[in-house]
């Protein structure tokens, strides 16, 4: 695994990272618009929209940093501290009234996991011509982050799922 991490650091120059970032922004924007459209039909649309806006802003700020992109690609368990930095903020807590219970946390989990899955998938697209071990690793990484996303969504539907993220696929 160390060799793959070293190879990723070597081949992901600033130009490729910018390509990954731009592709990721496009996916994130599409996901954000889809979630906003769904929120528009909810009874408390203004609260959900504020929550979506805040979470979207936080994950955009997070991935804007190239070191954070590399963390996403080389540390699949990095999601937990980022998640807690979002949900423990005063701004987030102001949106989490008792009336909405854990739903805002589920939105934060889903947005973050979805963003990290998008970053991993966009990296896979950019590096699809690389060594097979790197491509296989990135494919498994996409599965890991998509698993986090599916767990967050299942948890939101009331299923017994872990809200802690571990890299079970890698």
Vertex 162: Cα angle to 157 and 168 (nearest 5): 125
Q: How confident is the model at residue 170 (pLDDT cuts 50, 70, 90)?
A: very low
Lowest mean pLDDT among 62-66, 93-97, 128-132: 93-97
Q: How confident is the model at residue 169 (pLDDT cuts 50, 70, 90)?
A: very low
- pLDDT-above-70 percentage for the chain: 90
The overall average pLDDT reported for the chain is: 86
Write down the pLDDT at residue 63. 93
Instruction: Please name the residues in contact with 127: beta carbons below 8 A apart, sequence gap of 6 or more.
Output: 11, 12, 16, 134, 135, 138
101 pLDDT more than 80: no
Distance CA(110)–CA(39), nearest Å, equals 14
Q: How much is the pTM?
A: 0.88
Considering only CA atoms, which of 63, 50, 51 is closest in space to residue 118? 63
Residue with the two structure tokens 């996991």: 113
- pLDDT-above-90 percentage for the chain: 53
Write down the pLDDT at residue 38. 80
Q: How confident is the model at residue 94 (pLDDT cuts 50, 70, 90)?
A: confident
């Amino acid at each position: 695994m160390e060799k793959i991490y070293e190879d990723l650091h070597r081949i992901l120059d600033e130009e490729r990272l910018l390509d990954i970032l731009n592709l990721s922004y496009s996916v994130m924007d599409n996901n954000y618009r889809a979630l906003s459209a769904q929120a528009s039909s909810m009874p408390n649309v203004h609260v959900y929209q504020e929550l979506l806006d805040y979470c979207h802003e936080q994950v955009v700020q997070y991935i804007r940093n190239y070191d954070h992109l590399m963390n996403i690609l080389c540390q699949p368990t990095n999601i937990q501290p980022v998640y807690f930095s979002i949900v423990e903020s005063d701004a987030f807590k102001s949106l989490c009234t008792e009336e909405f219970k854990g739903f805002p946390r589920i939105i934060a989990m889903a947005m973050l996991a979805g963003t990290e899955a998008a970053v991993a998938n966009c990296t896979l697209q950019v590096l699809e011509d690389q060594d097979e071990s790197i491509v296989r690793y990135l494919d498994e990484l996409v599965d890991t982050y998509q698993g986090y996303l599916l767990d967050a969504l299942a948890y939101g539907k009331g299923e017994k799922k872990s809200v802690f993220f571990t890299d079970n696929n890698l």
